[in-house]
Each structure stands twice: as C-alpha cells, then as structure tokens.
Structure 1
Amino acid sequence: MNRKIYIVLLCMMMISSIVGCSKSQKSNDINSNTNILDTSYDEILKSAKGTTVNFYGYGGNEVMNKWFDTYVIPQMKEKYDIKVKRVGMNIDDIMNKLLSEKQAKSKDGVMDVVWINGENFKTAKENNLLVGAFTEKLPNFNDYIDKDSETINTDFGTPVEGLEAPWGKAEFVVIKDTDKVSQNIEDTETLKEAIIKNPGKFTYPALPDFEGSAFVRNVIYDIVGYENLINLPENEDEVRKVIQPAMDYLNEIKPYLWNKGETYPATIAQLDNMYSDGEVYFTMTYSPNTVKGKIDSNEYSKDTEIIAFDKGNISNTHFLTIPENAPNKEGAMVLINFLMSIDAQALKTDTANWGDMTVLDMNKVPNEEKYKFSETVEFGKTLPELNAGLVPIIEKIWTEEVLQNGK
C-alpha cells in the first residue's frame, strides 16, 4: 500500500476512534445517575441537545395523541434539538417492565419519561424505581406551580417528594344522553332509578380499568361518605366491612345493566364507542372538559350532559416521572419542563387539543398570558382520591363481590 495513503487511513481511523469515544462518553454521561440531581438546569439543557427522549404513557386518547405528535414533538426539536418518541402503552405493562428490569438489575432501560399517578406511583416509589427528587431542578415548576398545594404534594395520599412533576388535573364524571334520559340525576339513588327505567342502557368498564375503578369509588363515596373512608387502614377485612353497602348497591343494579351485568366493557374506549353508537345511554370520563370537543366532532350526541353528584366527584392530579434506569435523564427533564410551560399547559386546555385542566397556579401566570388558557370548569364539588393502597383492595373486593357474584 502507498505509504501516504496508509498514513491518511491511519489518521482517519484515529480521528474516528476519538469521535467515537467522545460520543460514547456523552452517552455514558447521560446514562449516569451520579451527578444528574446535582447538575444545574443549564448544564442539563446543554447535555440534552441532540438526544432522543422516549415518552411512555396511555395512548388511548387520540385527540391528546394528535396534539402531542403535532405540537410537543416538533416544538422539542425546534427549541432544544431533542427528538421525542411517544410510545403508547398500558400503565400496568409499563410498571411490569420497570419492576422486571429492577429485579434483573438492569441499568439500561428504554423509558425516559413515564405518565403516572395513583397506586402505580406508590409502587414505583416503594420499589425505588425512580431517579429521585428532580422537580426543583425545573424552572417552570419553580415559577408556575403552587408547591404548597396538597394536590401537588400528594398523589392518592402518597407524598410526592419531588419524584414526579404535575402535568394535568382530572375530575371523574358520569355522562348521559338527555334525549334518552330526561330525569335529573344527582346521586346514586337517582342514578339507580334511571338505570332501572332504562334496562340494558347503563354499564361501566370492568375493574381495574381506570374509569371503571373510579366509578366504583365514586359510588362508595356517595353511599358510605368520603369522611368515613379517609382513615381506613389497608386491611381487606376492614375495607370490606365499610364499603359493603356500596357493593350491595352495585349488585342491585347489576341485572339492569348492559348484557344484564353478565359481562362488562373491557375498557373505557369500548364504553365510549357503545355510547357513540347509541347502544348505551351513559358513559363516563376523567376528563370532563373533553366532552365539548367530542360533541363538536359528532362523536357524542349534542344532547350529552355531565352529571355532578351532590356529595362530590373524585378528582386528582396526573404526573410525569423519570425511571431510575432511564437512558436519557437530561432529555427527560427538559421535556417535562417544557410540558409545564405556559404555552404547553395553555394549549392542552383547548378541547380541540385535549381539554386537560392545567396544573399551573394561575396567580403565578403573567396577566398578559392568561388569555392563552381556555376556560375549564369544575363540575360540582370535588373530592380527593383515597390512599393508593386502598385502590387494589377495593378492586379485589369488587371482583369477588360483584363480578363473580352468581357465577
């Protein structure tokens, strides 16, 4: 080989090796958890440039998916040179994957940001699946969030302690077609009357579906009283004794449900489709501000109305977190900070985009930017969620007392 050519090739190989080492070192810095919580946000922002962030969460809301794909992803690329990949996955599958990775002592995961709350957050916290307290690093958290709010500091009764950042607020409501059901419904008793008058036209998703579980808890709230539930121990026998009147109620309405209560829709998406097709006269949601958008798009009947229970509807905050083994923690923090920005929070309050309620403290939002937010409404009195540890106990009792009753 010509000596000059050999020297050139050797130099190119050396340069390639140096560049490769540089890229590998950058990747190792991002994969490392040693300094991320001690690093300034400016340094985090610089390290995240040119990386890819994998966002994992519920993918069943097509309106939200479209907003995320057409706004969040392009904005992250334009503003920060960060590529975002949205992966729709059931939260149970996400948790199982994180737990199995933990058990296998895998330091290299695939999830950077996880959409989470409730009992799943409690499980993640108790099993040390999360990166640590990161929210104080985020400028938008410090500038626009009410850090003293109980809905920000606790998640289904579990102290948040900076392990997850608030993304939006939810309120559970039942929905009816007033053209088919004209009577006023204000509690479980009047709901039962309407169900009996319209046999086969009401149902709810089988637990542990998120909305189905919320419906059962809201029935428990209405019949038992929230004040009698907040100090319940996580003891199945105690819980069963206290909530038995609500289980009796659910068994009383069971023969009048769709398919005579022999089966239940598997998901809220299935129930929504049944409602849209007129197969049932009721559905339910954790996002009541999305109802207008669904009416405008003709997915729901123009006669759709939201029911507010007199004693209150369940409400909660949903959050974003970072797994301990996230491959791109810096990029994850930049994405989460962006999702708490004024523009991102304002746009998602628009029912055409999502209709999700903002987590920002509007007293901290500059007056000249408040116009960006669509008006969101709380439908009646709201009540906080039960402690996360009670949710799987209630779901188990419902399965035994209601689902399997008569089988």
Structure 2
Amino acid sequence: MKKLWLGFMSLAILAACSNGEEDTASVDVEGMDWDEIVETASGSEVGIYMWGGDEGVNAYIDQYVAPELEERYDITLTRYPMDASEFMSRLLTEREADQMNGTADILWINGENFRNGKENDLLYGEFASKLPAMTDYVDQAPYIDIDMGTEIDGMQVPWGNVQYAFQYNPELVDTPPTTLSELFTWVEDNPGLFTYPNVTDFTGNAFVRHVLYDVADDPADLETYNEEWLEENGEEVWERLRSLRENLWRNGDTYPETLAQQDQLFANGEVAMTMGFNEHRAESLIEEGTFPASTETVGLESGSISSTHYLSMPFNSPEPAAALVAVNFMLTPDAQIAKLDPDMWGEGHILDLNALTDQELEAIETLSGPQYVAPDTALLELDARYVDWIQEGWQREVVQGD
C-alpha cells in the first residue's frame, strides 16, 4: 500500500510539473544511431504506466528490471500503477491540451488500448526498427505486425506471449473440465462454485470470446471481424451465457469487477476456479501466499486463446532515448528469461529460440515448468471490435436478459 501511495504521489508531482507554462521539448532521437541513443539515455529517469494488480509482475519490475537498468545504463525506472483505461484517458487529455512534455515514457498495453491509442494519435510513432533486440532476439511471429486486428506499424513491441488457462482447487474439483462444454456441464452440476469477471475486465471479456469460438463452426469464421457472423450467431452466444447464469456464484446477480476480485474469491474458497492469461500465473501466486498451495492449472483442449501483450511509448515521452534503451533491455534474453521465473512473474517469452545460446535455452527449459496448455490448442486473439461487441451487449443480453 505504501508503494502504491508513493507511486501516485510521484505521478501527481510529475503531472504538476508538466502542467506549467513551459513544456520542455524531449530529445530528438530520429537521427541517432544506437550507441548515441544509449549515451544520451545515461542519467535519465523514465516512468512506465502499467497495471499494478499483480504482485509478481510488480516484483519483476521493481526487483529485477529497475535495478538492472540502473546498473547497466544509469537509468532510473519508476513504475506508475494504474489501469490502462486510466492512463489512456490521461494521454487523451494531454493530447487535446497539446501537452508535449508528458509524465511517462513507456506504456504496457493490449490490443484494445493500442487501437485507441493509434487512432487518437496518442503514441510516439514507429520505434521498433531502432531496437537491436527486435532483430537480434525477438521471434518474427505474426504478432509483431498485427495486434487484435490492428496494424502495429512499429508503434509497439511484443513483451510476452501467453495462453488462457483455468486455476482450480482440487478439493472442490475432482475432474477438471478440459473443454468449454465440459466446463458448462460442471457449472450446472456444481451450482454456486463458478463465476467469471465482468466483461469490462479483459479476462472476463476473454472468457466470453471463448464462447464465440465455441459457437463458431470454424475458428476461421472469426479470424477477421465478421459482423455478419455476429448477426447470425450472436443470440446463441448470449443464450449460452444466460443458461450458465443461474448456476453461477450468487446466481449470476453480481460478477467480480476485476480479475483481482475473481482471484480473491478463489483464494477465499468462495469459488472453485479462477482464470487468466498466463498458464503459469498460479505458481507465483502460490509462492506469494495468495493462492492455496494445492492450486492446479488446466487448459482447454478445445482451444485456448493466445494473447500477446506489448510495450509502447506515448506521444509526449519526455525521455524517448531512455525509453528506447529500457524497452530494448526488456526484450533481451536476460530480461525475458528472468521474467519466466515463477518466484517473480512466471510469464511466457517472445524470444526466437534459434537466436539463443545453449545456456539460455537450458535456462528457459528449466524455468518454463510444466506445460499446462498445448501450443496446438492456441486460438488467435480476436479483433478488438469483438471486445466492443461483447461489452456493448453483455449487460443487456446476459445480466438483465431473460
């Protein structure tokens, strides 16, 4: 709580400074080579806007990334914990006010927020090509070009790649469901022991996106935004969720507002399962004492959405050189392998295995742990407009629907 308070106080102070009569222009890195960028970054302070609801993620930033940046590059990194919707709204206000000296340099965002940032000119622009790690180490997978239906154009870089999985209490779940149909049957047979977050939460929305996939005859039907498919099949999606409602925790009259609230219900034993992107998330939550030590993980053999999350930069970064150096470091094998450690984050990497040393490959194999979700079950993350469709209709059709 003290760290959170200090973070917001620091943000308030920075905001007050940046709202003065003069805006100091940031360094122009456009014509610099990488050595010049690193030299310019030395001695700088950078801020990262990011969700702060996971202690393992916070520990990774505070106890690994920040000290390494300080030691290697003389860069001081400050983490500002807040929801992406909050800092994107802040950036929109700064853009409308033409405030060119912002309060943060790095953004942790997903596809929906990236689309909004790109459409509203809230992002720094193309920077990926400046980062040596992008060509030296990052897997050249489709997710470097497209994020939930939006062309990336070098305006963000992948930071982690994960699949959706369920964590369950084996004392309450004898045989964990491995398909969505089995899950719905389990909920019917065990009323009150399951729920999912409100769809304004990314994890809760993704649960419903799995229902879209389950309704579809062919996953390819949804690979691009398909309004005609929604018109023809949307009612079946809502009907499946309505049929689930009466057997949910508190009869579906209320839903956790966030994944953190969902996790707390699970930790308290009020529900038998929780869920989330990152098939290894339970390990760090067990380690820190949040989840019961008996917690186990299961993936959906019927298909599990794979999600990539990204690092970007705001249009008004006051320290773009230092931001580039920090982001580049977070893509290197050292930082990506440290991120795999379940004592901290325990989260999937974005590295090209062919670019790594034998020692690095061995470290990845050691830290990756059990394989809860088979890679061949991975489903493409859907276009962000499906997220909007779910948010626009769920309350009316499911929560209030008959």
TM-score, length of structure 2 as denominator length: 0.88
Structure label with greater radius of gyration? 1
Q: Which residue of 2 aligns with 1:350?
A: 341
- Aligned counterpart, 1:179: 171
Q: Does 1:198 align with 2:190?
A: yes
Task: Give 1:125's aligned residue.
Answer: 118
**Aligned twin of 1:338:** 329
Alignment-mate amino acid for residue 253 of structure 1: L
**2:151 partner letter:** P
Quote the Cα distance in structure 2 between the aligned partners of 1:43 and 1:271.
46
Q: Give the corresponding residue for 1:15.
A: none
Residue 155 of structure 2 is aligned to residue 155 of structure 1 = no
Does the C-alpha gap of structure 1 residues 293 and 62 become closer, same or farther in structure 2, counting only changes over 3 Å? closer
Q: CA deviation at 1:298?
A: 4.5
CA drift of 1:302 comes to 4.1
Shift of 1:87: 0.4
Question: 1:341-370 CA deviation, whole Å, 9 max, x = no partner?
Answer: 111110110111111101111111122332
| 1:249-328 pair list within 5 angstroms | 249-328=240-319
Partner of 2:397: 401
Quote the offset at 1:296 in angstroms. Answer: 4.5
CA deviation string 1:371-404 (max 9, x = no partner): 3322253603111111122211222111221123
**What does residue 89 of structure 1 align with?**
82
5+ residue gaps, structure 2? 1-22
Pick one of 36, 44, 58 that aligns with 1:43: 36
Q: For the residues of structure 1 that align with 2:353 and 2:394, how far apart are their CA atoms? A: 39
Where does residue 10 of structure 1 map in the other structure? none
Report the counterpart of residue 67 of structure 1 in structure 2.
60
Runs (4+) of structure 1 exceeding 6 A deviation are: none
For 1:295, the aligned partner's letter is I
Question: Is the Cα contact below 8 Å between 2:136 and 2:355 reproduced in 1?
Answer: yes
Contact 1:224-1:246 within 8 A present in 2 as well: no
User: Could you tell me which residue of structure 2 aligns to residue 164 of structure 1?
Assistant: 156
Q: 1:361 maps to which residue? A: 352
What SS is found at the alignment partner of 1:53?
strand
SS in structure 2 of the partner of residue 56 of structure 1: strand
Equivalent of 1:214, from 206, 214, 217? Answer: 206
Q: CA deviation at 1:80?
A: 0.9
Corresponding pairs, count: 374
CA gap of 1:190–1:368, structure 2 versus 1, over 3 A, is: closer
Distance 2:148 2:266 in 1: 29
Matched residue type, 1:214: A
Q: For residue 180 of structure 1, report the CA deviation from its aligned partner.
A: 1.1
Which residue identity is paired with 2:119?
Answer: E
Contact 2:298–2:372 (Cα < 8 Å) also in 1: no
- Give 1:95 shift: 1.0
- Cα deviation for residue 28 of structure 1 reads 5.1
Q: Matched residues in 1 for 2:107 and 2:250: separation?
A: 36
Partner of 1:386 in structure 2? Answer: 382
Residues 268-301 of structure 1: CA deviation (Å, up to 9, x unaligned) = 1111111111111011011111223333455333
CA shift for structure 1 position 88: 0.5
**Does the aligned pair in 1 maintain the 2:339–2:347 contact within 8 Å?**
yes
**Percent of residue pairs bearing the same amino acid type:** 34
Is 1:246 the counterpart of 2:242 in the alignment?
A: no
Aligned amino acid, residue 385 of structure 1: E
Which of 99, 104, 108 is equivalent to 2:101?
108
Equivalent-residue separation in structure 2 for 1:333 and 1:129 (angstroms): 17
| Contact 2:337 2:363 survives alignment (8 Å) | yes
TM-score (norm 1): 0.87
Q: Deviations over 1:153-175 (max 9, x none)?
A: 21112121111011111211122
Report the Cα distance in structure 2 between the residues aligned to 1:276 and 1:347, rounded to whole angstroms.
26
Judge conservation of contact 1:187–1:222 (CA < 8 Å) in 2. Answer: no
The whole-number CA distance in structure 2 between the counterparts of 1:133 and 1:246 is: 38
- RMSD of the TM alignment (CA)? 1.8
State how far apart, in whole Å, the 2-side matches of 1:249 and 1:307 are.
22
Rounded to whole Å, the distance in 2 between the matches of 1:84 and 1:193 is 48
Q: Residues of 1 paired with 2:102 and 2:24: CA distance?
A: 13
Deviation at 1:138, TM superposition (A): 1.0
Distance in structure 2 (CA, Å) of the matches to 1:78 and 1:241: 57
Distance 1:145 1:232 in 2: 28
